[in-house]
Amino acid sequence: MYNGFRPLNRENNVMNEKKEDYIKVLFDLGGSRNRISNKLVAERLKVSPSTVTEMMVSLEKINWVNTLPYKGSILTEEGKALAKQLIYKHRLWEVFLVNHLGYDINEVHDEAELLEHSTSLLLAKRLEAYLKFPEYCPHGGAIPLNLIEAQEDEIIPLTECQVGDIVEVQRMTNEEYVADYFSNKDVKINDILEYLDENKMVDTITIRNVKSDNTIELNSTTASYLFVKSKR
Residue span of the structural domain in which 185 resides: 156-230
Q: Do 147 and 197 have their domain in common?
A: no
pLDDT value of residue 15: 66
pLDDT value of residue 13: 61
**13-28 and 108-117 are packed helices; what angle lies between their axes, rounded to 10 degrees?**
130
Contact 26, 36 (CB under 8 A): yes
pLDDT value of residue 29: 87
The pTM assigned to this predicted structure is: 0.84
pLDDT at 70 over 60: yes
pLDDT value of residue 55: 96
Q: Report strand pairing: 214-219 vs 65-68.
A: unpaired
Q: Do 219 and 161 have their domain in common?
A: yes
Phi, then psi, of 56 in degrees rounded to 5:
-65, -35
pLDDT at 177 over 60: yes
Q: Do 30 and 119 have their domain in common?
A: yes
Percentage with pLDDT > 70 across the chain: 93
> Which domain CATH number covers 130?
1.10.10.10
What is the chain's mean pLDDT, rounded?
A: 90
Domain count, the chain: 2
* pLDDT tens digits for range 181-202: 998 999 999 999 999 999 989 9
Q: What number is the average pLDDT over the span 145-149?
A: 88
pLDDT value of residue 176: 76
pLDDT value of residue 12: 53
pLDDT at 8 over 50: no
Where residue 1 falls among pLDDT bands split at 50, 70, 90? very low
Pick from 154, 182, 215: which residue ends a domain? 154
CA–CA separation, 88 and 142 (whole Å): 8
Q: Do 150 and 35 have their domain in common?
A: yes
Q: Do 92 and 195 have their domain in common?
A: no
Pick from 98, 129, 154: which residue ends a domain? 154
> Which domain CATH number covers 182?
2.30.30.90
Q: What number is the average pLDDT over the span 77-102?
A: 95
Instruction: List the Cα angle 112/118/121 in 5-degree steps.
Output: 100
